Amino acid sequence: MAFNATWKFNIVPNGGILSTDILNWINAARIPAWFTFSYDETIPWTVDCGPDYGCWPQPEIPFTFVVVREGSTENGISMKNAVGLTWEQMSAIQSGYLDSPETVGLRIWHETLHAMGANPDLLDPDVSPNDIAEFKEFVAENSVFSSDTNITAYLTSPYNHPPNPVLRAYYYMLMVKRLGCPELPIPAGPATVSLWQRLIEWILAIFHV
């Protein structure tokens, strides 16, 4: 089945987030080019509330997501207990002021994978202690992955080496492969962003520059 990896996104206003920020975050997470992302300010969203997760902006069209700044309270938004949510094929992702571009990019990748029917949660040993078998098989099939010390340490002792950003990117690659992505790009090492850059971004966001 040809799968729809074409995504559009919108932004909850008044959080200081630009569409170019989101594209930069996606690049920082090294999401494969098989996914495409474009900004569409006409994508509708409403506020969905639940007892566990508070009130989040929920897009109304499949294969769209909306990004919201941490702490947003406009329109009745009061997010809690999550940094991202997915309703069937629609997602919302929170961006924190001190989150790195890679962190938010991986969060976008995570939620879009949920929306596409994959389960990126299985890497977390607390969520699914027995399901790393699939990942072991993937690493064995792709010898280049087995040379990565992050993966070796994790597969040897998942509870002592909780998933880091590099490991998450590798695991999401497995999800992408299972979904039918014809190419399997290998993520490079972790993106490095200086604390100064983050502080500058934070200050710019606060003042809505």
Q: Closest separation between CB of residue 17 and Zn ion, Å?
A: 21
Stretch that binds Zn ion, among 10-18, 119-127, 134-142, 150-158 (CB under 5 A): 119-127
* CA–CA separation, 108 and 65 (whole Å): 9
Q: Closest separation between CB of residue 127 and Zn ion, Å?
A: 8
By CB under 5 A, residue 134 contacts Zn ion: no
By beta-carbon proximity to Zn ion, the closer residue of 102 and 201 is: 102
By CB under 5 A, residue 124 contacts Zn ion: no
Q: Closest separation between CB of residue 7 and Zn ion, Å?
A: 17
By beta-carbon proximity to Zn ion, the closer residue of 8 and 168 is: 168
By beta-carbon proximity to Zn ion, the closer residue of 99 and 201 is: 99
* Contacts (CB under 5 A) with Zn ion, residues 159-198: none
By beta-carbon proximity to Zn ion, the closer residue of 145 and 171 is: 171
Size of the site for Zn ion (CB under 5 A): 1
Stretch that binds Zn ion, among 8-16, 57-65, 113-121, 200-208 (CB under 5 A): 113-121
**β-pair type (78-79, 54-59):** antiparallel
CA distances from 167 to 38, 89, 103, 155, 171 (A): 26, 25, 12, 10, 6
* Contacts (CB under 5 A) with Zn ion, residues 21-80: none
By CB under 5 A, residue 131 contacts Zn ion: no
Contacts of 87 (CB under 8 A, 6+ apart): 48, 58
By CB under 5 A, residue 121 contacts Zn ion: yes
* CA–CA separation, 158 and 151 (whole Å): 9
Q: Which residues bind Zn ion (CB under 5 A)?
A: 121
